[in-house]
Amino acid sequence: MAEYKAPLRDMRFVLNEVFKASELWASMPRLADVVDAETADAILEEGAKLTARELAPLNRSGDEEGAHWDNGDVTTPAGFKKAFATYAEGGWVGLSGNPKYGGLGMPKMLSAQFEEMMYSANNSFTLYPTLTTGACMALNAHASQEICETYLPNMYAGVWSGSMCLTESHSGTDLGLIHTKAEPQNDGSYRVTGTKIFITAGEHDLTENIIHLVLAKLPNAPKGPRGISLFLVPKRLVNEDGSLGESNDVSCGSIEHKMGIRASATCVMNFDHALGYLIGEVNKGLTAMFTMMNYERLSIGIQGLGCSEMSYQNALEYAKERTQGRAATGATQPDKAADPILEHPDIRRMLLNIKATTEAGRAFSTYVAKQLDLAKFSDNADEKASADALSALLTPLAKAFFTDVGLENCIQGQQIFGGHGYICESGQEQLVRDVRIAQIYEGTNGIQALDLLGRKTVANGGKFFTAFAREVKGFVESNNTKTMAEFVTPLSKALGNLERVTFWVINKAANHPNEIGAASVEYLHVFGYTAYAYMFALMAKTAQDQLTAGTEEESFYLGKLSTARYFYKRLLPRIHSLTEIVISGADPLFELSNDQF
C-alpha cells in the first residue's frame, strides 16, 4: 500500500491560481486579518505532515481492530487517543471555529483541502473531529451566548467533542416521525428521553466529555417536522464554574458492526430523562440543524474525494511496479520478462478516470466552499444572497456526485491490483468498504438527488440553476478564443444540454409529479459531469495562461491540459446516455403493478 502524500501542488494550484483565494479573502474584512496566502500555505504544509505521519499509519490497524464496546464504554483502536491528542493540541478541531471562543476562523476554501487530506489518510479517525465541527457550527449560530461560552472553547480545543443525534429506528430521512421527547422543567432546562441509532462518535474515549445535539419533540408539539426542537445534552454535566460534574442520564447501548469505517464508533444512544438545554427556538430544531448541513454534506462528499485520491496513489504506484505482459506497441523494458501494467490501455483508462474526476472534484469542492465563504463572510448583500443560493443548489450535487464517483474510483483502483486488490495488504478493499457509507449517511444520495432536482430546481422554477448557468455562459463568452475552443465549445454544448433537460423536467413535473423522482439520480449525474467540465475549463485557462507567461513547471501545466482533454473526450460524453434516461420519463417505472414485482 502506498504511503499517503497530500497532493499539495494540485491543492495550491486550485486554491491560489484557479480561484485566487488570497485575493478573495483580502476583499472580505472579516477574513482579511485572519488568513493570507502565507498562512494558508503553512496550514496546508502542517496538515500534510499531520495526516501522513499521525493518521495514515493508523488506518489499516484501526480497521482491523475496530472500536470496542464494553458495558456502555467505548474505546477506540490503539493509537487513536494519542493521535487525537496531537490533533487537538495543534488546534485542528477549531480550524474554522469562531475566534471569539478560541477557534482559528479559517475559511471553508482552506479547510476543505485539509478535510480531503484527512479522509485520504484515515476515514474513521476523521469522523470524530468533523462531528465536533458540525456541532460547534450549530451552537455558534443558534445557542445563547452563555452556552457558547460554556461549551465552544473546550470543543474547539478538542477537550470535549460533539455528536449529532437525529436518526431513530423508524425515522431516518423522515425526521418528522421521531419519538424522542423533551419535557420542560421549572428552571428552563429540559429532560430528554428516547433512543437514537447510527450516531457517529456518540461514545468514545478520545475526550473527557461528549456534547450531544439531540432532535426531540416537546409535549403537544405540532406533528411532523414542524414540531422538532434541538437540545444540547452533555454526557457529563457542566458545573457553573465550567468544571465537569456528575454523569448525565445518557448511555451507549451498543455499537454497530459495519462493512467499513470500523474504527469509527457508530452508536445506539439512550437518553433516559437526561438533562438538556434548548438550542434555538422551540419547534425550529431542523432550522438549527440545517445551519451546518451544507457544510457537513460537503464534508461527506469530500470523503468520496479523499478516498479517490488514495485509490489513485495506491493504484498508480502498483501500475508502475507490477510487470505483466508486453505493451501492444512493443516491449518498453526488453531487458525484463514483462512490461509495467501502466503500458496497457485499460490500466491507463482506469487511472485516468480516477485522476480526472479527482482533480475536477478537488476544484469543485473548492468552488462550493467558495460559495459558503461568500455567504458567510461577504459584506455585499447581493453577493451574499447569490452565494447562498448557489451553495444550496450545489451542496447536494457535491455530496452525491463526489461519493458516487468515489466508489467507482475505489473499485477501479482495486481492479488495477487484480487479485491483490481483493486482499487486505493492498489497502484497496478497505477503501471500497469505507467509501461505500458516504453514499448512505448524511442523507442518502437518492435523497440528495431529489433535493437537487425537486427542492432546489423545480420548486423555484430553475432560479438557482439559472444563476449557475449564467456564470458558466459568462466564462464561455469571455474565453471563446482559438486556444480555448477545445474546452469552451464542448462546455457550451454540455451546458445547453443541461439547460434543456432541466426545463424539460420542470415542465413535465407540473402535471406529472413522479417525473422528479424518476429523473433525479441521472439528472444529478448529468449536472455533475457538466460542472466538472466547467472546472476543467477553468483549470485549462489557468494552465494555458501560465504556459504563455513562461514557467519552470511546464510539465505540471501540460499534464493538466492533457487530463482536461481526457475528461472532455472520454468522460463528459456520458451525459448523453444519462440524458436519454431522464427524458424517457417516469412511465417505464410504473408499468409494472406492485404485485408484478
Q: Give the CATH number for residue 416.
A: 1.20.140.10
> Do 384 and 513 have their domain in common?
no
> Do 92 and 230 have their domain in common?
yes
Nearest to 234 by CA among 246, 224, 221: 246
pLDDT for the residue numbered 394: 97
Cell numbers 432550522 label which residue? 287
The CATH number covering residue 142 comes to 2.40.110.20
Helix, strand counts (H, E) of the chain: 21, 11
> Of 290, 310, 342, at which residue does a domain stop?
290
> Do 91 and 182 have their domain in common?
yes
Task: Give the three cell numbers for residue 102.
Answer: 478560541
Which residues are within 8 A (CB) of 196 and not within 5 positions of it... i.e. 6 or more apart? 165, 166, 167, 168, 180, 202, 214, 268, 269, 271
**Is residue 106 assigned to a domain?**
yes
Segment 511-536 shows an average pLDDT of 97
Which residues are within 8 A (CB) of 38 and not within 5 positions of it... i.e. 6 or more apart? none
Q: In one letter, which amino acid is 569?
A: K
Per-residue model confidence as pLDDT tens digits over 122-157: 999 999 999 999 999 999 999 999 999 999 999 999
Which residues are within 8 A (CB) of 444 and not within 5 positions of it... i.e. 6 or more apart? 173
Per-residue model confidence as pLDDT tens digits over 96-122: 999 999 999 999 999 999 999 999 999
Q: What are phi and psi of 423, to 5 degrees?
A: -110, 160
The pTM score is: 0.97
**Is residue 597 assigned to a domain?**
no
Segment 270-286 shows an average pLDDT of 96
Partnered with residue 165 across adjacent β-strands are 214
Count of the separate structural domains present in the chain:
3
Nearest to 311 by CA among 342, 265, 357: 357
> Do 482 and 567 have their domain in common?
yes
Beta strands in 314-361 (DSSP E): none
**Cα Rg of the chain (Å, integer):** 24
**Is residue 1 assigned to a domain?**
no
pLDDT for the residue numbered 456: 97
Per-residue model confidence as pLDDT tens digits over 58-105: 999 999 999 999 999 999 999 999 999 999 999 999 999 999 999 999
Nearest to 200 by CA among 92, 85, 301, 300: 300
Q: Are strands 160-165 and 181-184 parallel, antiparallel or unpaired?
A: unpaired
**Is residue 595 assigned to a domain?**
no
> Do 265 and 336 have their domain in common?
no
> Do 154 and 286 have their domain in common?
yes
> Do 334 and 459 have their domain in common?
no
pLDDT for the residue numbered 177: 82
% of the chain beyond a pLDDT of 90: 96
pLDDT for the residue numbered 1: 78
First to last CA, the chain: 44
> Do 460 and 487 have their domain in common?
yes
> Do 523 and 569 have their domain in common?
yes
> Do 111 and 207 have their domain in common?
yes
Q: Is it the case that residue 172 has pLDDT exceeding 70? A: no
**Is residue 3 assigned to a domain?**
no
% of the chain beyond a pLDDT of 70: 100
Q: In one letter, which amino acid is 531?
A: A
pLDDT for the residue numbered 290: 82
The residue range of the domain holding 428 is: 292-442
19: which DSSP letter? S
Per-residue model confidence as pLDDT tens digits over 362-387: 999 999 999 999 999 999 999 999 99
- The model's confidence at residue 295, banded by pLDDT at 50, 70 and 90, is confident
| Catalytic residue IDs | 442
**Is residue 594 assigned to a domain?**
no
Per-residue model confidence as pLDDT tens digits over 486-507: 999 999 999 999 999 999 999 9
**Is residue 2 assigned to a domain?**
no
Give the number of other CB atoms < 10 A from CB of residue 596: 6
Q: Is it the case that residue 269 has pLDDT exceeding 70? A: yes
Compare 173 and 118 and report the one with higher pLDDT.
Answer: 118
> Of 290, 311, 337, at which residue does a domain stop?
290
> Do 330 and 266 have their domain in common?
no
CB 400 within 8 A of CB 380: no
**Is residue 596 assigned to a domain?**
no
The string of DSSP letters for 362-373 reads HHHHHHHHHHHH
> Do 306 and 235 have their domain in common?
no
> Can you tell me the distance from the alpha carbon of 132 to that of 129, in angstroms, rounded to the nearest whole number?
5
